[in-house]
Amino acid sequence: MSIKVTLNCKVQEDQFGTLLPFLNDNLARVRGFAGCRQVNVFFDRENDELLLDEMWVSAEHHQQYIEFISANGVMGDLASFLQGPPDIKYFDVVDV
């Protein structure tokens, strides 16, 4: 089973150019974390909105990753580019 996780982030004005190398440096670690199946990144330049669109084995796996990056400082580094904390949502995959 999989779960869709979205993180909507409002990027500080004119910070996306600085954020992009940070994402390039860190996304391989996200994708390699236990339980991560996929991460896609989208950016709305007009509104400075970043969307991290992720697939995880479970919400618990994602929450373990959030705890890990909170403890090692990566979450704090990410937050320095943002206007506020990311809006994290979990969606069950529905087979229709």
Distance CA 4, CA 16 (A): 24
**What average pLDDT is seen over the chain?**
95
Beta-carbon neighbour count of residue 75 at 10 Å? Answer: 17
* pLDDT on residue 21: 96
Does the pLDDT of residue 1 top 80, yes or no? no
* pLDDT on residue 8: 97
- The token pair at 25 is 């440096």
> Which pLDDT tens digit goes with each residue over 49-83?
999 999 999 999 999 999 999 999 999 999 999 99
Tally the C-alpha atoms within 13 A of residue 17's C-alpha that lie toward its C-beta.
Answer: 2
Indicate the SS3 state at residue 80.
coil
Does the pLDDT of residue 11 top 90, yes or no? yes
Please state the domain extents for the chain: 3-92
CATH 3.30.70.100 is the classification of domain 3-92: yes
Indicate the SS3 state at residue 11.
strand
